[in-house]
Structure 1
Amino acid sequence: MQPLRTLSAAVALAALFPGLALADLHTESVTYEHDGQTFEGFIAWDPSVDGPRPGVLVVHEWWGHNDYARSRAEQLAAEGYTAFSLDMYGDGRTADHPSEAGEFAGQVRENRDMMLERFGAAHDYLRGHDQTADQPVAAVGYCFGGTVALEAARAGADLAVVASFHGALATEHPASADTLKPEVLVFNGAADPMVPKEQVDAFREEMDNADADWTLVDFGGVLHSFTNPDADSIAERFDMPVGYDERADRDSWQHLLGALERRLK
């Protein structure tokens, strides 16, 4: 089955930041191994920046490791980071239909140990790369990927910043002050039926109880997948309650960059 087609990295970046030049970035598709399985990632950095630089992991939506995740890695590389978009499903699998995407994502969400181990394998790969060389690392996740990034933070992953964009917030393993290390950013669509108010309220309480350094931005009238320029076509194709919102996309991205600047550089 062919994967869901998304905007090319160049088109997605141009929509956000007209004039941003990425021609000189080094980009590379890579494979890495975990528990006898092969995973297909994508790493990007700006070779004009001297020496190792902080790393950022990008965790994909439930569609799998596709062009959208890679485009976000390129954006982060243009900001001076070594960015690695990882593969949570293995073998670079991607979905073409929500039912298949839900199946792939469910297999990971239902096995938290496997989820954390797969995230950890990508984290280890990035930390060990010559272009990161044990510099601090952050994690950014979209939808399903936001859930993964938050669970890694709750489990004590060594991260400086964790950012979830339109990801689910519910958990069976709440954060504690003893384990939670990063600054936590959550960007949510207030009109997203997939993240009901009860989840948002419980997350706020969880972060307060964990004495976390956290920010939650609720964008009024904004739906799920608001950062993905393909969301409107996905909504039409599959009759899903998702939609792109340029303001929320731009504002959340700028907020992320500010946090990365404070915590990583």
Structure 2
Amino acid sequence: MATIKTREIHYTAQDGQSLIGYFAAPEADIPVAGVIVAPEWWGRNEYTEQRARELAEHGYAALALDMYGEKKVTTQSDQAYEWMMQTFEDPDTIVNRAAAGLQVLAEQAEVNPEKLAAIGFCYGGKVVLDLARSNAPLQAVATFHANLSPKAPAQEGQVQAEILVMHGELDSMVTLDDVASFKHEMQQAKVAHEVIVFENAKHGFSNPLADERAQANAVDLGYNAEAEKQSLAAMYELLARRLG
């Protein structure tokens, strides 16, 4: 594992919102591929930052996005829902804030701007999928228990990324019908994609705190260690293949 460094980066989205990303990168002599990490609806919390550090340990520069501003975080689902819905009020907010994060990542001295990717969890999965649908310069996108519904369906020639979607079979928030609709969207747009469905996995399967959050908020989440392990391995395989 590489020795890493971390810092916060302040940036501003097109809508004027001040955002604070969490940057992690390996101590390297040459610029490396960059990956944005879009958070669950809880905000840019320790879990998101942990995933960024892990990417840095694997040799990538990573920026954990702040989608709400001022790095706001919560453990309360009603607050998370309120903040998330605020980013849906204007249909361009999600893509504009994610694009601002991708741009600031690409501008860092540690990053090779020709090699960019994005990963996202739950709400963050929708964030990076909509970013990919917007023709962002991404080589790869990987999502974990993502909201798959598009701001607007992908159009042929408008998605540069290869997309990997990882979904829990028992996810009650994003159904297998939703997964089928997503596959159809990708096929119609001729996007290179793969969907992996994990047995006995619920929404939130990648987060070790999912059971605790489920109990505290009476929401149907569940951690699945095997699905977490397999999904991260699949993500790293995609990143290695697409980013070199």
Runs of 4+ in structure 1 off by over 3 angstroms are none
What amino acid is the match of 1:174? P
Within a 5 Å distance, the mapping from 1:5-154 to structure 2 comes to 24-34=3-13, 35-47=15-27, 49-154=28-133
Letter in 1 for 2:50: S
Q: How far did 1:89 drift?
A: 0.6
Pairing 1:242–2:242 present: no
Matched, 1:210 2:189: yes
Secondary structure of the 2:117 match is strand
Unaligned runs of at least 5 residues, structure 2: none
**Alignment partners' CA distance in 1, 2:112 and 2:146:** 29
**For residue 249 of structure 1, what is the amino acid of its counterpart?**
E
Amino acid at match of 1:40: I
Alpha-carbon distance, 1:104 to partner? 0.6
Shift of 1:143: 0.4
- Shifted more, 109-118 versus 68-77: the winner is 109-118
Cα deviation, residue 161, structure 1:
0.4
Q: What amino acid is the match of 1:44?
A: A
Instruction: Report the Cα distance in structure 2 between the residues aligned to 1:138 and 1:111, rounded to whole angstroms.
Output: 25
Query: Within 1, Cα distance between the matches of 2:7 and 2:147?
Result: 30
- Work out the CA distance in 1 between the residues paired with 2:201 and 2:112: 39
Q: State the SS of the aligned residue for 1:262.
A: helix
Gaps of 5+ in 1: 1-20
Query: For the Cα contact (< 8 Å) 2:75–2:213, is it kept in 1?
Result: no
Identity over aligned residues, as a percent? 35
Match for residue 238 of structure 2?
Answer: 259
Query: Does 1:220 find its partner at 2:199?
Result: yes
Q: TM-score, normalised by structure 1?
A: 0.89
In structure 1, what is the Cα distance between the partners aligned to 2:186 and 2:89?
Answer: 23
- CA root-mean-square deviation: 1.2
Instruction: Give me the whole-angstrom Cα distance separating, in 1, the residues matched to 2:188 and 2:114.
Output: 29
Tell me how far 1:147 sits from its aligned partner: 0.5
Between Structure 1 and Structure 2, how many residues are aligned? 243
Matched-pair contact (CA < 8 Å) for 2:34–2:112: no
Amino acid at match of 2:113: D
Tell me how far apart the structure 2 counterparts of residues 94 and 233 of structure 1 sit (CA, whole Å).
16
1:207 alignment partner, SS class: helix
Shift, 1:168, TM fit: 1.0
Partner of 1:186: 165
Return the alpha-carbon distance in structure 1 between the equivalents of residues 24 and 128 of structure 2: 20
> Structure 2-normalised TM-score?
0.96
Amino acid at match of 1:39: L
| SS of equivalent residue, structure 1 residue 83 | strand
Which residue number corresponds to residue 12 of structure 1?
none
Q: Distance in 2 between matches of 1:249 and 1:37?
A: 33
Deviation at 1:30, TM superposition (A): 2.1
1:198-248 CA distance string (max 9 Å, x none): 211101111111111100001112100000010011111122110110110
